[in-house]
Homo-oligomer: A and B are copies of this chain.
Amino acid sequence: MTETDDRAEPTGDRSVVISIDAMGGDKGVAAVIGGMQKSAQKNDAIRFLVHGDEEQIGPLLKKRPALAARTEIRHTTRVIAMDEKPSRALRSGKESSMRGALDAVSAGEATVAVSCGNTGALMAMSMLALRKVPGVNRPAIAILWPSRNEAGYAIMLDVGADIRADAQDLMTYAVMGASYARNGFGIKRPRVGLLNVGTEDHKGRSELHEAAELIAGIADRSDFDYIGYVEGTDMPSGKVDIIVTDGFTGNVAIKTAEGTAKMISRMLRDAFQYSPLSRIGALFALTSLRRLQKRIDPRRVNGGVFLGLNGIVVKSHGGADATGVSAAIKLAFRLAQSGFSDKLAARVASGLAVISEDRPDEDPAAEPPDQTEGTGPKADEAP
């Protein structure tokens, strides 16, 4: 393993510093360090700043000298509990590993933060430590959804349990989701759909109708295709790359999908244990079943990304094991390396400029401001 900081190539494979919150996940520090180890073995260009209890982290790193060589420990004294209220975490979490991981991004020491901790607290702290990108009213959490599309995953946002999103929030989600799809998954012209209870124009709430108009109006400028309303059944269909919805609906949808997948796999197990013959069938089918399990394994698509902040935050599943943490780190690396954070901010600014142009109190024939032309449409293509 060699440090790659000094490589000559200007883009693509320069080293990336990832700030890790080692505490607060359900499986403890060992799962996090295990995940770092897996990622480090596969990728020479990653370095780590790891925040947490030095007494727990130190011995685990000692056993992994190659990882230790590119990891710096930052000792912290407090852990944010999984069931802690965000407001309390904010008030008393200054000395926590979570806050430390975010502050390192804010200070420019790392490009991206990864945490397995309490989602609500992480979002609240991220907003405080990193601040929102100008033009973003509500940051969003985007997750991946197995799909038949080219990338193999559709992106859904917001799933962050936020209580409301108005039409302009939803439009911002579309812009941010498209930028994420380009930088995280190389989808050049993502297809954006708005989650609704039907695909006909008259269906759903009035803020959705308004959002549909805003998103359609901004699509071309923001280099995505707006495909209209989509339904829950469309999500894995491959016809849509980005599913835009409010955080409440999105959160219910992913948890429902998770519950359904679990129910079916439990029923499948029951079905195969029903009789001696079905048990023989299961033996023959084992490889096929394992292949299926791998495709829908949530550990392999692990990583909710917080969009709309000045810095990238990847939320790993609370129950993630080393494989899951490593998947989250991989995603964090890819986004950091593409310069995603700056590109997203430019996209949001460009989107806002379009909205301003449409304001009735301004001259509709006026040219958009120069800086928008320059930093906008092509700003976030993946390298």
Q: In this assembly, does A203 line the interface, its C-beta being within 8 Å of a C-beta of chain B?
A: yes
> How long is the Cα–Cα vector from A267 to B297 in the complex, in angstroms?
13
Binding site of A, secondary structure by majority: helix, strand, loop or mixed? helix
- Contact flag A257-B255 (CB < 8 Å), given A85-B202, A274-B288, A288-B271: no
Q: In this assembly, does A228 line the interface, its C-beta being within 8 Å of a C-beta of chain B?
A: no
Q: In this assembly, does A233 line the interface, its C-beta being within 8 Å of a C-beta of chain B?
A: yes
Q: How far is the CB of A301 from chain B (nearest CB, A)?
A: 13
**Chain A 158-169, CB within 8 Å of chain B: the 1/0 string?**
000101100000
Q: In this assembly, does A205 line the interface, its C-beta being within 8 Å of a C-beta of chain B?
A: yes
Q: In this assembly, does A59 line the interface, its C-beta being within 8 Å of a C-beta of chain B?
A: no
Question: Which residues of the other chain, B, contact A271 by a CB distance below 8 angstroms?
Answer: 288-289, 291-292, 295
B289 engages A163 (CB within 8 Å): no
Q: How far is the CB of A75 from chain B (nearest CB, A)?
A: 31
**Chain A 216-255, CB within 8 Å of chain B: the 1/0 string?**
0000000000000001111111000000010111011111
> How long is the Cα–Cα vector from A248 to B264 in the complex, in angstroms?
25
Q: In this assembly, does A210 line the interface, its C-beta being within 8 Å of a C-beta of chain B?
A: no
A selection of 30 A-B contacts at a CB cut-off of 8 Å is A85-B202, A161-B197, A161-B198, A163-B204, A163-B205, A163-B206, A164-B205, A197-B247, A197-B248, A197-B252, A231-B252, A231-B259, A232-B251, A232-B258, A232-B259, A245-B252, A253-B256, A256-B257, A257-B257, A260-B261, A267-B296, A272-B285, A274-B291, A278-B284, A278-B288, A281-B281, A281-B283, A281-B284, A283-B284, A284-B285
